[in-house]
Amino acid sequence: MANTFKYLVLALVRDRDMMIWSLAFPIILSTCFIFMFAGLDNIGQTEPVRTVVVQDAAYDGDEAFRSFIEGISGSAEGEEPLLAVEFAPTRGEATARMAASAQDEHPIEGVLLVGGGGLPEVLLNNMTSSDDPQMGGVYQSILVTAADSYASRRQLVTDLMEDDPRALANQAVTDALSAVEPLTQKVSVTQNAPKESVRYYFALLGFAAVMGAQGSLTAVLWLLPRTSALGARRSVGGTSRLRSLLGTLAACWIVSFACLVVAYLFMRFVAGVDFAGRDLLCLAALAASSLMATALGAAIAVLPRLNSNAKAGLLTALVCIAALFAGLYGQPTMELADTVAAACPASQWVNPAVQVSQAMFSLMYYDTLAPFLTHIAVLLVMAAVLLACSAAALRRQRYASL
């Protein structure tokens, strides 16, 4: 068995189809994803709003406004500042600088200055050419909201001074006026922040896992007397059928697992996909996935009345369809997959590519391991059923005809 295992591993590693589809293709597609989705994960994340503050006499004379600007442009620990402030001595120079920045990647979104009555004035940049026009609008809204917030607080202080000056002597009131307390608390419902691109990578991992069936399809065809002279020759050798089978399937499993691990490591360390730091559990998922793939390839290999080419074509078709419903082919197919999943959840449970990608999702987003273990169990059941289906053909010793 060890000899069979050793040489089957060697033969599979040198098999061009196996290496192209199970090893090279996921890496190539991951590389494409790196470039395709470079900006996808940044959508919805804001940069500090680039702002010019006019540092004129009114600014110098307004201590409250200066404090406001310092507070809003300084960064608290672990957080980005709200504004990225630059100073200009005059309004004219500030607006000129704002206009000149229109072609920058991050243009100056507006000018802040102390206006009449000490209230802040905001001059918005109408020529922003931000890569994402929607984000340009968000940045200017942030700027306006910040200025409005300052103006309303300033108005509140002014009103208090007129109506109840003694209240300002109360430390609690002044603390409340100066504090910037958030009105909402940010709570993440998932273990990790969701990223748009990981769905593609997980779907690709599902595709690569199912494509691993290519190895066992090839290796089992090498074992069957009716499909190749090599199979016939091996069947009459002095090693028991069971030992040959176990050696062959173990070799397929280990090669398919190794290919998946390489794809995983590429995604993890080159593409920078976050697997929530649960690497060992990811490897366990890949082991279960490659076992399922080994069983799938064996089951297709023993199908009667199909020649080797037809079996290879059938596997390719299965992999492509499975990957389609895992959402590998882009946004429209993801929507299709979601629609099908909603209408017919069973279709997702029998789709190995979906199970692999969902197992990865479970690891990334759930605190509990229950969903992950459910998907792994489904993969193992698939493997057991497929192996049982092919067992009769695989353990057969003699044939009525060849």
Q: Which residues bind other proteins (CB under 8 A)?
A: 3-4, 7, 10-12, 14-15, 222, 225, 228-230, 232-240, 397-402
Query: Do 300 and 314 contact (CB within 8 A), yes or no?
Result: yes
Q: How far is CA 174 from the centre of its chain?
A: 46
* CB-CB neighbours of 138 under 10 Å: 16
Nearest distance from residue 24's CB to other proteins, in Å?
17
Least Å distance, CB 241 to other proteins, is 8
Contact status, residue 214 vs residue 21, Cβ threshold 8 Å: yes
**Cβ-based nearer residue to other proteins, 14 or 305:** 14
Cα dist from 259 to 47, 181, 213, 220, 237, whole Å: 39, 51, 11, 19, 30
| CB within 8 Å of 33: residues ≥ 6 apart | 197, 200, 201, 204, 271
Q: Which one, 229 or 370, has the nearer CB to other proteins?
A: 229
Nearest approach, Cβ of 234 to other proteins (angstroms)?
A: 7
Residue 222 and residue 230 in contact, taking contact as beta carbons nearer than 8 Å:
yes
CB of 399 to other proteins, least distance (A): 6
H/E element holding 284? Answer: helix 279-301
Residue bearing tokens 């406001």: 68
CA distances from 261 to 17, 31, 258, 296 (A): 18, 16, 5, 19
Q: How far is the CB of 11 from other proteins (least distance, A)?
A: 4
Least separation in angstroms between residue 7's CB and other proteins is 4
Burial of 207 (0-12, 13-18, 19+ CB in 10 A): buried
Map residue 83 onto helix, strand or coil: strand
The nearer residue to other proteins, 29 or 251, going by C-beta atoms, is 251
- Output the smallest distance, CB 231 to other proteins, in A: 8
Q: How far is the CB of 10 from other proteins (least distance, A)?
A: 6
Residue 8 vs 83, nearer CB to other proteins: 8
Using alpha carbons only, what angle is made at residue 275 by residues 273 and 276, rounded to the nearest 5 degrees? 125
Q: How far is C-alpha 283 from the chain's CA centre? A: 17
When the beta carbons of 4 and 30 are compared against other proteins, the nearer one is 4
- 299, 62 contact by CB (below 8 A): no
The residue behind tokens 């109506």 is 163
Shortest distance (Å) from residue 22 CB to other proteins? 15
Instruction: Find out whether 253 and 294 touch, Cβ atoms under 8 Å.
Output: yes
Alpha carbon distances (Å) from 216 to 2, 287, 309, 312: 17, 15, 15, 11
φ, ψ of residue 216 to 5 degrees: the values are: -75, -30
Judged by beta carbon, residue 384 or residue 402, the one nearer other proteins is 402
Of residues 229 and 280, the one with the C-beta less far from other proteins: 229
CB nearer to other proteins: pick between 235 and 348: 235
User: For residues 220 and 285, which CB has a smaller minimum distance to other proteins in the complex?
Assistant: 220
Shortest reach from residue 228's CB to other proteins, in Å = 8
Residue closer to other proteins (CB basis): 187 or 236: 236
Work out the angle at residue 177's Cα, subtended by the Cα atoms of residues 172 and 183, and round it to the nearest 5 degrees.
105
